[in-house]
Amino acid sequence: MDRESMQGAGNRRGGFAVSICDAITLFVRRARRGGLLAYINRDLYLGLSRRLAHEIAVSTEARSRGIPVAESLGFLIEPVAFGLERGAMLTRAMAGMTLWEFLKIEDEPTVRSLVIEEARRAIATMHRGGLFHADLNLHNLFVTRNGERMTVVLLDLDKAQFYDAPLDSKLQSQNMNRLRRSAKKLDPEGRFLTREAIRILAGD
C-alpha cells in the first residue's frame, strides 16, 4: 500500500488516501478529538469500535434511502489499554474537496452558486430521509463530480441518527444552526461565504 496524499484539511488534519494494489483507493479518517479535550487526549476513546460500527450502519441505511453520503467500507481499531482504543474509518475515496476548501479557491460566481445549491439539495434530501447529522459543518460537506455535474456528499456520520419520518422543524433547525456556527467560525468576515449564500445554504 502507498500513501497517496497528505493529510486532509478537514477532520482535524486526520485523513489521508491509500491505494491498495492499484485496484481501489480508500480514504482513511483517523478518529480525532476536538475542543479543549484534544490538548489532553487527542485520539483515545472508550468503546470506539461501537461508534465506528454505528457510522457504517448509518451510512449503509443513508445510501439505501438515497441520501448522498460517503461510502463506508470498514474501520480499523488499535487496542491501547483496557477499554481504550484508537482507530480510523475507511471510506471509498472521492475526487474533490470539502465545501470550505472549495469556497476558498473557486472565484467563478456561477459555479459557486451551483455548488451551494447542490449542498442545499443534499441537506434537504438528508432531512426528508429522516437523518439527523448532529455535526453538520463546512468540512462535512464534500464537493465532488458526478459525470459533468458537481455534486455534494455528506461526511462524518459517527454522531448521526435516523428517525422513522422526515425530520421535524426543530431537528432541522439544530442541523442548520450548527452549519451557521461553522460558517461564522471559519469565515467571520464573510470573505468566502456571503450572507446570501448562507441564506441559500440554510434554506431560509
Split at pLDDT 50, 70, 90, the class of 81 is confident
pLDDT single digits (tens) 150-169 = 999 999 998 999 999 999 99
pTM: 0.85
**Strand blocks (E) in 93-140:** 96-98, 131-132
The SS3 assignment for 19 reads strand
* Residue 70 and residue 104 in one domain: no
pLDDT single digits (tens) 9-63 = 444 456 788 877 777 788 898 887 666 655 666 778 788 888 899 999 999 999 9
As a whole number of Å, the CA-based R_g of the chain is 17
Domain boundary among 92, 110, 139: 92
pLDDT single digits (tens) 116-142 = 999 999 999 999 999 999 999 999 999
* Residue 169 and residue 197 in one domain: yes
Q: Which domain holds residue 52?
A: 2-92
Into how many domains does the chain fold?
2
In this prediction, residue 125 carries a pLDDT of 97
**Cα angle value 169/166/201 (rounded, 5°):** 60
**CATH code of the domain covering residue 145:** 1.10.510.10
**104 or 11, higher pLDDT:** 104
**CATH code of the domain covering residue 22:** 3.30.200
* Residue 32 and residue 120 in one domain: no
* Residue 86 and residue 146 in one domain: no
